Amino acid sequence: MALATLDRRPPPLFRQGLTALTKLLFCAALSLVLMAADARFGLVSPLRSALATVLNPLQRALLAPVDAWDELRDRLRGARSAMQAEQAARTLLAQQALVLARTQTLERENEALRRQLGLRDSLPVSSRAANVLFQSGDLYSRRLVIDRGRADGMQRGAAVIDERGVLGQLTRVHLQSAEVMLLTDREASIPVLNARTQALMLAYGGERHAGLELRFVAANADIKTGDTLVTSGLDGIYPPGLPVAEVALVERRGQTGFARVLAQTLARADGARQVLVLEPPAAVLAAQGEQREPGAQPSRAEGKRP
Amino acid sequence: MIMPRGSGQLLLPAKPWFIALSLLLALLADMLPLGPQPARPHLLAVVLVFWNVHQPQRIGVGWAFFLGLLIDVNQGAVLGQHALAYSALSFLAVTLHRRLLWFGVWQQTAQVLPLFFAAHLLQFLARMAFGGMAPSPWLLLAPVVEALLWPLACALLLAPQRRAPDRDEHRPL
């Protein structure tokens, strides 16, 4: 028996409003239009940005319980593991200090050599630090949300790295937050260079277990498990020489002309807390400006080049 | 007042502020940033279906669409993915509402399970059509967990309506 209620108002007889089916047809059509406009044409970013700006304070407030839980777990793990973590961090810092010192020497040497050979100086890369707010809950993509947005000068297309390597690229920039598309997302791809053999390759995301897949590698190519892949800089988005991934699996099948190569990204999305956002190079900005207003003179963006 | 025969209890009218509060709390619970977890139940979907079944004149397809849009923006998903799924879920719940309440709670659970499956399937199809990654198979568990939350939702969300109509200090319940 259904539970009866004390609500004794008569049900509306004449003003029933739209039926649920009509509303469903309307809402479903609207959602399909929205999805197509978002995924295919990229038309709804103002609406998304407006809603994101409204939701942003809520999202930040909701971080508090999650952070409190993490802190509680850290406390329960005790002083011993905290000291171990600090020891590991110090060791890492010492190793990096050595690398840094050598890099500085090499950079000076490189500069002198370039001047002697009459080559162009490599462009300086400016960067900004940002904190990772959270990993997005979307099951069908891989994204991070960072706490810097348009108000802090973030721009679409900027590369994002953490202390281990390249994380991804800013794809959506809202007023006070931005979304980073990780390299392991299905839509992401990055041109890489095998540091050992200096061979150029393309890495695509979307591989569920390993993260990246290197496509179009010849079956007899010189590539081994454990090879380090770095950015080649050919795309003009990622500066050259940043570590990206490590080859995890090489499968050479007899029948096909290509080898199946999987790589594990060095940057780990679930562990990232602080990241660096690299300024996109002037060429990328110019291309974006042209996209926004076709027919505009590219010289406007060109003038920003340092 | 005439009591319907065989029913144990009369319910108080639902308060609009309680409906709004429960929806808001479910939305906040769904927005908790825990990272991508395939088996995580959508509390908002459960609460929406509950109010669609119990108060179809107040909470209908339009609200489901709007709340779905908010979840889309929060997750950074394709705009319209949750909106479509929740609208369909809400429509199915509204069409079900006259029949569902004649059953016991566990039979109701069995009947809402296909609804949640349909909502997840719609999201899956929509994302596959617009080029998403295949999610982990644990996603199949999410509608089951949502259906299992149905008895809990019935107990919690009907509680304010189960109080006595004229309160008596000597008889607290």
The answer to whether the CB atoms of B130 and A31 lie below 8 A apart is no
pLDDT of the residue at B7: 53
Residue contact B132–A2, C-beta within 8 A: no
For residue A160, the enclosing domain spans: 127-185+271-291
Helix (H) or strand (E) holding A145: strand A143-146
**Residue of chain B minimizing CA distance to A15:** B57
What pLDDT was estimated at residue A42? 79
CA atoms within 13 A on the CB side of A145: 26
In this complex, do B75 and A1 lie within 8 Å of one another by their Cβ atoms?
no
Residue A144 and residue A285 share a domain: yes
Residue A258: per-residue pLDDT: 87
Encode pLDDT of A127-184 as tens digits. 889 999 988 888 888 899 999 999 988 888 899 998 888 999 999 999 999 999 999 9
**pLDDT at residue A31, as a whole number:** 92
Give the pLDDT score at B173. 55
Q: Is residue A108 part of a domain?
A: yes
| ipTM confidence | 0.83
Residue A150 burial (C-beta neighbours within 10 Å; 0-12, 13-18, 19+): middle
What residues contact residue A150 under an 8 Å CB cut-off, 6+ apart?
Answer: A173, A174, A175, A176, A178
Residue B91 in contact with residue A21, Cβ under 8 Å? Answer: yes
Lowest pLDDT segment from A189-203, B5-19, B92-106, B150-164:
B5-19
- A23 contacts B95? CB cut-off 8 A: no
- Domain end among A87, A121, A155: A121
pLDDT at A123 exceeding the cut of 80:
no
Residues A142 and A260 grouped into a single domain: no
| A112 shares its domain with A254 | no
Which residue, among B41, B11, B61, B56, has the nearest Cα to B120 in the 3D structure?
B41
- C-alpha A81/C-alpha A297 separation (Å) is 58
Query: Does residue A173 lie within any of the structural domains?
Result: yes
| A201, part of any domain | yes
* Best CA proximity match to B48, nearest among B75, B34, B29, B74: B29
Distance of alpha carbon A232 from alpha carbon A238, whole angstroms: 8
Q: Which of A36-40, A182-186, A297-301, B21-25 has the lowest mean pLDDT?
A: A297-301
Q: Which residues of B touch A38 (CB under 8 A)?
A: 78-80
Q: Is residue A14 part of a domain?
A: no
- Give A131's contacts in chain B (Cβ within 8 Å): none
Torsional sign, CA A188, A238, A271, A156: negative
B134 CB neighbours in chain A (<8 A) are 208
Residues A210 and A134 in one domain: no
How many domains does one find in chain A?
3
The C-alpha of A240 sits at a distance from chain B's nearest C-alpha, in angstroms, of 28
Task: Assess if residue A244 is contained within a domain.
Answer: yes
pLDDT tens figures, A9-66: 777 777 777 888 888 999 999 999 999 898 888 788 889 999 999 999 999 999 999 8
Q: In the predicted model, what is the mean pLDDT of chain B? A: 87
d(CA A133, CA A146): 5
Nearest-neighbour CA in chain A from B62: distance (Å): 7
Residue A48 and residue A99 in one domain: yes
Residues A206, A164 share a domain: no
Phi-psi category of A198—alpha, beta or left, where left has phi over 0 and alpha has psi -120 to 50?
left
Does the pLDDT at position A301 exceed 70?
A: no
- At residue B15, the pLDDT reads 86
Kindly determine whether residue B84 and residue A206, on different chains, have CB atoms separated by under 8 Å.
no
pLDDT of residue A300: 38
Structural domain contains residue A24: no
Mean pLDDT of B42-57: 92
- As a whole-number percent, the residues of chain B with pLDDT over 70 amount to 90
A241/A261 same-domain check: yes
| Nearest-angstrom CA–CA distance, B38 and A264 | 22
Strands A211-218 and A258-265: antiparallel
- Classify residue A47: in a domain, yes or no: yes
Percent of chain A's residues with pLDDT above 90 = 28
- Domain of A148, CATH number, reads 2.40.10.340
Choose between A283 and A256: higher pLDDT.
Answer: A256
Same domain? A177 vs A155 = yes
In angstroms, rounded to a whole number, what is the distance separating the alpha carbons of residues B152 and A38? 37
User: Per-residue pLDDT for A299 more than 50?
Assistant: no
- Sign, CA torsion B69/B55/B92/B105: positive
* CB proximity list for B137: less than 8 A, separation 6 or greater: B38
Residue of A nearest to B70 (CA): A51
A295 pLDDT above the threshold of 50: no
Do A178 and A36 sit in the same domain of this protein? no
pTM metric for this prediction: 0.82
Answer whether residue A3 is part of any domain.
Answer: no
Same domain, A205 and A178: no
**Chain A positions in Cβ-Cβ contact with residue B74 (cut-off 8 Å):** 55, 59, 137
